[in-house]
Structure 1
Amino acid sequence: MIATKMFLSWISLLCLCISLQNILCKLTVDATSSLGNPTVVIVGSGIGGTSCAYYLKKILPDANVVILETDSRIGGRIYDVKIDGEVFGIGGYAWAGYHGYIKELVDEMGLDRTDRDFDGEPNFVSPFTFTAWNGTHLIDTREIVKAHEESMEILENGTVDFYVRMEDNYALRGYETFSEMEKFLSYGALGQWPTLESRQYYTNGSVNLELQDLAMAPLQEFINSQGLESHVFSMYTSLSAFMGTGRVVGGNLKLVDALVEAASAEVFLNSTVTTVERLSNGFNVVYQRENEQREMYADYVVIAAPLEATEINFQNFDPPVSKPARDWYAAYSYIVTAEGYNMEYFTEDPDRNVSGFIIGIPGKASGLASITSISMGDLIYYKVTTTRNFTVDIEDMFINPSVRAEHHWDFGHPVLEPHTAGGATYQDVVLSPGLYNIGVMNDVMSQMEGSVIAARNAALLIGKESLNASCSICLIPTIQAKLIIIFTSMWKFILT
Structure 2
Amino acid sequence: MQLSRAVLLLLSGFILSGLRAAVARLLPEPPNRIAVVGAGIGGTSAAYFLREKFGKDVHIDVFEKEEVGGRVATTEMMGNLYETGAYVIHPLNLHMKSFVKELGLTARTLPEDNFGIYNGDYLVFHESEWFLINILKKLWHYGLNFFRMNMWVDNVMDTFTRIYRYQASDYSFSTTEALLHAIGGSDVVGKLNMTIEEDMQKSGFSQRFIEDIGIPAMRYNYAQGVKINGFVGAVSLTGTSSGLWAVEGGNNQVCRGLLRAADAQLIQGTVTSVQDRPTKSGFTESQYEVTYATDKGTESKMYDIVVIATPLNKEIGNIDFTGFSPPIETVCRPFQRLVTTIVLGQINASFFGFQNTSPFPLSEIFTTDNHNIFFCSLTSLYSSNSSPEASDLRIWKIFSVETLTDEELHQLFVSYSDISVKRWLAYPQYNPPEKMPPIVLHRGIYYLNSIESAASAMEMSAISAKNVALLSYHQWYGKEEKINQLDLAERLKSEL
Report the TM range for the smaller structure's normalisation: 0.7 to 0.9
Q: 2:191–2:199: 8 Å Cα contact kept in structure 1?
A: no
Q: Which deviates further from its counterpart, 397-406 or 89-98?
A: 397-406
Instruction: State the distance in 2 between where 1:221 and 1:268 align.
Output: 35
Instruction: State the distance in 2 between where 1:78 and 1:145 align.
Output: 36
Q: Which residue of 2 aligns with 1:430?
A: 440
Query: Mapping of 1:75-474 within 5 angstroms?
Result: 75-115=69-109, 129-142=114-127, 143=137, 146-174=140-168, 175-189=170-184, 190-241=188-239, 242-269=241-268, 271-280=269-278, 281-290=286-295, 292-308=297-313, 309-338=316-345, 340-343=346-349, 346=351, 348-351=353-356, 353-364=360-371, 366-373=373-380, 374-375=388-389, 379-392=393-406, 393-409=408-424, 411-419=425-433, 424-468=434-478
Structure 2 residue identity aligned to 1:468:
G
Q: Deviations over 1:143-202 (max 9, x none)?
A: 455322233343233222111101223224532111111111122312222222122222
Q: Percent identity?
A: 23
Residues 291/348 of structure 1: CA separation in 2 closer, same or farther (3 Å cut): farther
Once the two structures are TM-superposed, the CA of residue 367 in structure 1 deviates from its matched residue by 4.4
Aligned length: 425
Residues 366/273 of structure 1: CA separation in 2 closer, same or farther (3 Å cut): farther
Instruction: State the distance in 2 between where 1:391 and 1:79 align.
Output: 23
Residues 197/128 of structure 1: CA separation in 2 closer, same or farther (3 Å cut): farther
Once the two structures are TM-superposed, the CA of residue 305 in structure 1 deviates from its matched residue by 0.8
Q: 1:132–1:138: 8 Å Cα contact kept in structure 2?
A: yes
Q: 2:440–2:446: 8 Å Cα contact kept in structure 1?
A: yes
Q: 1:141–1:214: 8 Å Cα contact kept in structure 2?
A: no
Instruction: State the distance in 1 between where 2:88 and 2:354 align.
Output: 33
Root mean square deviation of aligned Cα: 2.7
Q: 1:39–1:298: 8 Å Cα contact kept in structure 2?
A: yes
Q: Which residue of 2 aligns with 1:477?
A: none
Once the two structures are TM-superposed, the CA of residue 354 in structure 1 deviates from its matched residue by 4.1
Residues 464/188 of structure 1: CA separation in 2 closer, same or farther (3 Å cut): closer
Q: Deviations over 1:81-122 (max 9, x none)?
A: 233332211111121122111111111111111259xxxxxx
Residues 153/268 of structure 1: CA separation in 2 closer, same or farther (3 Å cut): same
TM-score calculated relative to the size of structure 1? 0.79
Once the two structures are TM-superposed, the CA of residue 328 in structure 1 deviates from its matched residue by 1.4
Instruction: State the distance in 2 between where 1:47 and 1:204 align.
Output: 34
Q: 2:39–2:68: 8 Å Cα contact kept in structure 1?
A: yes
Once the two structures are TM-superposed, the CA of residue 77 in structure 1 deviates from its matched residue by 0.5
Once the two structures are TM-superposed, the CA of residue 129 in structure 1 deviates from its matched residue by 4.9
Q: Which deviates further from its counterpart, 214-223 or 350-359?
A: 350-359
Instruction: State the distance in 2 between where 1:203 and 1:159 align.
Output: 15
Give secondary structure in 1 for the equivalent of 2:183. Answer: coil
TM-score calculated relative to the size of structure 2? 0.79
Residues 199/132 of structure 1: CA separation in 2 closer, same or farther (3 Å cut): same
Structure 2 residue identity aligned to 1:326:
R
Q: Which residue of 2 aligns with 1:472?
A: none
Q: 1:131–1:354: 8 Å Cα contact kept in structure 2?
A: no
Return the index of the structure with the highest Cα Rg: 1
Structure 2 residue identity aligned to 1:169:
I
Q: 1:145–1:211: 8 Å Cα contact kept in structure 2?
A: no
Give secondary structure in 2 for the equivalent of 1:368. Answer: coil
Q: Deviations over 1:361-394 (max 9, x none)?
A: 2343544122111337773111222222125322
Structure 1 residue identity aligned to 2:368:
I
- Runs of at least 5 residues in structure 1 that lack an aligned partner in the other structure: 1-23, 117-124, 470-496
Instruction: State the distance in 2 between where 1:204 and 1:28 align.
Output: 57
Once the two structures are TM-superposed, the CA of residue 297 in structure 1 deviates from its matched residue by 0.9
